[in-house]
Chain A
Amino acid sequence: MRRLPLIVTVLVLAAAGVLLALVARREPAPVAAPVHFALTGHHGRPVTEADLAGRPVLLYFGYTFCPDVCPTELGYVARVLRALGPEAAQVQPVMVTIDPARDTAAKLADYVPLYHERLLGLTGTPEQVAALADQFGVHYQRANVATAKPGYYLMDHTATTFLLDRQGRLALKIDSHTVPVETAAAEIRSRL
């Protein structure tokens, strides 16, 4: 009678250990297919996956009306790139807006240089944006709360940064909340 709980405890601990090991390794979802998209760059010209082919991409989904999470994540991306040193030049940082209704190319053009000199901003129609976000399981929607400023709304959104390999396939998911900058840089370096 007294043995059973012990066995259960051991099993639970073992399962937790396996889970922790998996989480710690941050295994990317098994997405083998290269991404496809047709969007507009902050420079106003069309951008598709062909324009990024051959380069690893650090991809983040955010919006410029975001005062906190997006600058935090973009600052993290900038620090990761700095930690990569000379190899950072190979990597293309990209922010895709999940708020295309407000984030025009012109709006993105004002925004992206503040965070990294090579950050590429992408916008498009709601359908074009959704088509790309869906490939990464990125969720977003207008928040169901009003702010005190009429017409000003907030977006709920997934705040994860993705590394795509040179073929445009998902190589790594990075959770900036748990992964130190140096660790992220090392993980990216090992996949360049």
Chain B
Amino acid sequence: MKTAILLAACLSAPLAASEAVLEGAWARATAPGAQAGAVFGTLRGGDGDDRLVRAACAVADVVELHTHLRGEDGVMRMRPVEAMAVPAGGTVLLKPGAEHIMLIGLKRALAAGERLPLQLTFARAGQVEVVALVGEATASAAPAPAGAASGAAAGGCCGHR
């Protein structure tokens, strides 16, 4: 009986990491004195439905969860959202021009090549540490060098929703 439980626990170990995460997190370099930045990546759901409810970053005064509404007139409207739903087993792409984690009041510029730690809070998964790779200011997708780990971030392309 006890063995069975242990065995089950071992077997499910690889899946035990089935909590919501942000994969392939990345950001863009910012200009000197720039006040704002954004973090993108792929939110991947775990075993149960979850929600990203909060984010924090040491280099920003304020971190908000944002989305973009694109009007028929071509006007882009960026708006804060209360939370980002992360469905069980699903993915949500945070990408330029859409959902993003917004850094407001940057204390310093973000430099290409640096690794930026973020603290994310999920309603279910709790607090999760994430490191975002900073790419060029003009990047449209996650910087390459991170290899397989950043493979999930297909970036500005095709929306794997």
Contacts and interface: CB of A to CB of B under 8 A. Distances in A.
Interface of A: 64-69, 71-72, 74-76, 78-79, 107, 110-111, 114-115, 139-140, 143, 145, 147-149, 152, 154, 156-160, 175, 177
B105 A152 contact: yes
18 contacts: A64-B34, A67-B36, A68-B68, A68-B96, A69-B97, A71-B138, A75-B139, A79-B140, A110-B32, A114-B31, A139-B73, A145-B80, A147-B104, A152-B35, A156-B75, A159-B74, A159-B75, A175-B74
B interface SS class: strand
The 9 closest A-B pairs by CB, nearest first: A75-B138, A67-B36, A72-B96, A114-B137, A111-B31, A149-B62, A67-B38, A148-B62, A156-B77
Contacts of A69: 68, 76, 78, 96-97
A72 B32 CA distance: 18
A189 B151 CA distance: 34
Contacts of A64: 31, 34
B62 A75 contact: no
Given A149-B61, A157-B75, A67 B103 contact: yes
Contacts of A152: 35, 62, 104-105
A6 B77 CA distance: 40
Interface residues of B, number: 37
Given A67-B36, A67-B37, A148-B80, 18 more contacts: A68-B100, A69-B68, A71-B28, A72-B96, A75-B138, A110-B31, A111-B34, A114-B30, A114-B137, A115-B138, A145-B80, A147-B80, A147-B104, A149-B61, A152-B35, A158-B74, A158-B75, A159-B74
B142 interface: no
Interface of B: 28-38, 61-62, 64, 66, 68, 70, 73-80, 96-97, 100, 102-105, 137-140, 156
A149 B97 contact: no
B105 A149 contact: yes
Nearest to B103: A67
